[in-house]
Structure 1
Amino acid sequence: MNKSSIFWYDLETFGTNPQVDRIAQMAGIRTDLDLNIISEEMIIYQKPTPDYLPSIDACLLTGITPQIAMEKGSDEVEFLNKILKEFMVPNTTVAGFNSINFDDEFIRNDLYKNLFDPYRREYINGCSRWDIINLVRACHDLAPEGINFNHKTEKGNTSFKLVHLTEDNNIEQVGAHDAMVDVYATINVAKLIKKKQPGLFDYYFKNHYKNEEKKLIDIADHTPLILTSVNFTTPLGSTRPIAPLFIKDNTVYAFDLTKDATALQEANENEISTLDGIVRFAINKAPFIAPFNVLKKDNRAQRLGISIETAERNLAIIRKDSSIAKKFALSNQEFIKKDSDPDLLLYDDTFTSKRDTLNLAIIQNTKPSDKLFKNLIFDQPKYHELLFRQVGRNWPQFLTDEQKALWKNFCSSRLLQPLSTGIDYFTYMRNIEEKLNSKSVTGKEKLILLALKQYGEAIYSYAFT
């Protein structure tokens, strides 16, 4: 039987948009629950594909060029299989620093676009995911003794950047934005908190599982909690008292008890979900929540600028009005803007049918050379296009002449009309030239820019010949 362990990981990416941008590098290592390292380092790269131009700024930040990823990397499917092999070891908690909102989103989108189940690895065989950034925020707000938080942002808020935490606490982090360096820094920050505030560390780790989070949430009685979230961040902290109001799927709708709860009584079902004071958090994203009484200890409420009396008065208003939860149930304000390109449809609000699930399993077990010749019928048309793109991105050598022409046409269209935050090829090349001509560019940066220029010219030539 596999013992419980934590697999710590970090990604370096070719951009910041997980729907559009690609992973460049992944690094990880496994520890036991006492944070002792029990495995070798894992450092792998993912090859870029000719339908995508890496962000210039991302490459300058990490130093990873497309050529490095091409030389050291695997295709997308092989890369993902290597990751899943580690993530899905029974009783593994996959953890990082701001990983749930960034790294995990890249992993999910990469899995989806390559026709894997994007969520299975998060719960199968006792597996889960965790993220210590909210532990750090909670430590600052609730139990800061023994940990230094010296850096501030321009707004005067405490900085929770990994590089600042390591500097403030004399933790070595030579080479920030190197994935393996960041992994070790994350583990060492976790060790510091576990040593200085073991009760807080153990509480959050125990309750990071979705089923444990659910036990703390009482919708019927609106039992108050505290929530630590980046959305609450002020110079005083990131924690507020909340009252849970409604839960849908994995999303909890709650009210910030520092706000005026009479607005909930006055709002109708079409207004309530957009009121000032309504907060949402996902119980499958390891939120930091704790009992309300935690605020009443050690002068915490006063340090955070929170009035216990105001919170309790607003809670009483909510508890007296039984119509509030009903309004949420009737609310129709959750409009989702629908994208049309299949690459963007991970969260398209449709369930995968039994037939599509079966077809996806068939595809995963089919040789690359045969994937496009299965003649499978999908209920969701997006899977036909995703399958074609998967073969083009991973195994273009198995495309027929006609399919190669279609693939190159797709690549050329993406270079000229990229998705979302991307820039077109000609703007991309012009930006590179402008940076190369800048007097502030260092020698190292010039080499990266020249590599990006060469890569851009190469994939343009591929797509248009």
Structure 2
Amino acid sequence: MTQSYYWHDYETWGGTPAKDRPCQFAGIRTDTELNPIGEPMVLFSRPADDLLPQPDACLITGITPQRALRDGMPEAEFALAIQSELAAPATCGVGYNSLRFDDEVTRYLFYRNLLDPYAHSCRNGNSRWDLIDVLRLAHALRPDGIQWPEREPGVTSFKLEHLSAANDIPHADAHDALADVRATIAMARLLKRAQPRLFDYTLSLRDTENVRKLLDQGKPVLHVSQRYPAIRGAIAPVTVVGTHPNNPNQRLCFDLRQDPAILLDLNVEQIRERLFTPSADLPADVERIPIKGVKVNASPILAPIGTLGKDAAERWDIDQQQIKVHARRIDEAKSQIADKLLKVYQGQQWQEVTDPDLMLYTGGFF
């Protein structure tokens, strides 16, 4: 089977993938050298009778319910057309911030229409990938060859329209799905030319076994995520401190910039409070525990700690000697920490979902 990428993007009636349904989809298939294959696909979906679009979403995208009713198709047909592209053998579904947003839109779309929400991304040699965190990794470790716009002094903007403008990539219709797909492919081409080894390396992280080996070797690694402060490069040196009891594919990773003594000094209830209480509700003098779940089957962007150069370490406030000390402390108390975190996460409370349209992760049909 010949590998191909299916670059795609949704415009939606709001910002919550579970609730706010898609109004537009666009996709372009390319080969592994990022050359287009065939013609782009652009689809509109008719809004359901019980759907109330968010006015702000209409203003941002320029898509009104009237236009979607005129140009769109029933959601079931919309879903089948998208499935036929994403489920084609040897397809890597890829987008911009797609793992956090577009992939969730796809899953809920398929679920509502009684299609398997997962098979398209994991069978027949298929996979998924997301360019945004790859660009964050390049920015943090190998920034040459790309212009990085700032949203404020010292803080880079990763909005697609800002990166496009800074790198002279045409993107006149931001928030039009097809324009966003074309801009994403153009940024991917730029990165592939500027940092080909990094580009190919991050593609290898689509393989769950490669990710698992990297995380489970017992050594610190670098992890890229929007949840790490942008002023620190959205990157952190982490080590695995446990596995989520309800998801064997999720590793619990501790940010080694922080002292792990907090995991030993606090009891289970105190740790649970500092993990699951919203930041706005924590007292000003209470420090959030820096643990993040990393799913080995979600193409996370990781790198060996040895790829961190001296200049990057200084820029992102990473003291390599301190990391070694903190990692050693965790290693010495690994079983104690893992046992404590097991109890913490076993007691995690989830809001009950009763709307059948939203029950993808609480049973569902599959």
* The two structures share one fold, judged by TM-score above 0.5: yes
Please give the per-residue CA displacement for 1:239-298, whole angstroms capped at 9, x wherever unaligned: 110011112322210110000111122233444452511112222322111111112x35
Structure number with higher helix proportion: 1
CA contact (8 A) 1:15 1:54 kept: yes
Query: Once the 2 structures are TM-superposed, how far is the Cα of residue 314 of structure 1 from its aligned partner?
Result: 0.5
Partner of 1:74: 73
Please give the per-residue CA displacement for 1:391-446, whole angstroms capped at 9, x wherever unaligned: xxxxxxxxxxxxxxxxxxxxxxxxxxxxxxxxxxxxxxxxxxxxxxxxxxxxxxxx
Q: How far apart are the structure 1 equivalents of 2:310 and 2:38?
A: 40
Q: Helix, strand or coil for the counterpart of 2:150?
A: coil
Q: Helix, strand or coil for the counterpart of 2:151?
A: coil
1:224 to 2:205 alignment: no
1:136 to 2:135 alignment: yes
CA contact (8 A) 2:205 2:300 kept: no
Of 179, 192, 197, the match for 1:181: 179
Larger deviation, residues 205-214 vs 302-311: 205-214
Q: How far apart are the structure 1 equivalents of 2:2 and 2:310?
A: 37
Partner of 1:347: 361
Which structure's CA Rg is the greater one? 1
Q: Helix, strand or coil for the counterpart of 2:292?
A: strand
Query: Once the 2 structures are TM-superposed, how far is the Cα of residue 346 of structure 1 from its aligned partner?
Result: 1.6
Partner of 1:286: 299
Larger deviation, residues 283-292 vs 38-47: 283-292
CA contact (8 A) 1:270 1:333 kept: no
Partner of 2:337: 324
Partner of 1:277: 290
Q: Which runs of 5+ in 2 are unaligned?
A: 276-287
Q: Which amino acid aligns with 1:26?
A: F
Partner of 1:336: 350
1:203 to 2:201 alignment: yes
Q: Which amino acid aligns with 1:177?
A: H
CA contact (8 A) 1:47 1:70 kept: yes
Partner of 2:56: 57
Alignment identity in percent? 39
Query: Once the 2 structures are TM-superposed, how far is the Cα of residue 208 of structure 1 from its aligned partner?
Result: 2.1
Q: TM-score, normalised by structure 1?
A: 0.72
CA contact (8 A) 1:251 1:283 kept: yes
1:83 to 2:96 alignment: no
Of 231, 234, 238, the match for 2:234: 238
1:97 to 2:96 alignment: yes
CA 1:236 to 1:324, structure 2 compared with 1: closer, same or farther past 3 Å? closer
Q: Helix, strand or coil for the counterpart of 1:125?
A: coil
Q: How far apart are the structure 1 equivalents of 2:60 and 2:108?
A: 23
CA contact (8 A) 2:8 2:27 kept: yes
CA 1:263 to 1:298, structure 2 compared with 1: closer, same or farther past 3 Å? closer
Q: Helix, strand or coil for the counterpart of 1:165?
A: helix
Partner of 1:150: 149
Query: Once the 2 structures are TM-superposed, how far is the Cα of residue 342 of structure 1 from its aligned partner?
Result: 1.4
Q: Helix, strand or coil for the counterpart of 1:245?
A: strand
Partner of 2:261: 262
Q: Which amino acid aligns with 2:359?
A: L
The CA RMSD over aligned residues, in Å, is 1.6
Partner of 1:301: 313
Q: How far apart are the structure 1 equivalents of 2:314 and 2:44?
A: 48
Q: How far apart are the structure 2 equivalents of 1:199 and 1:99?
A: 22
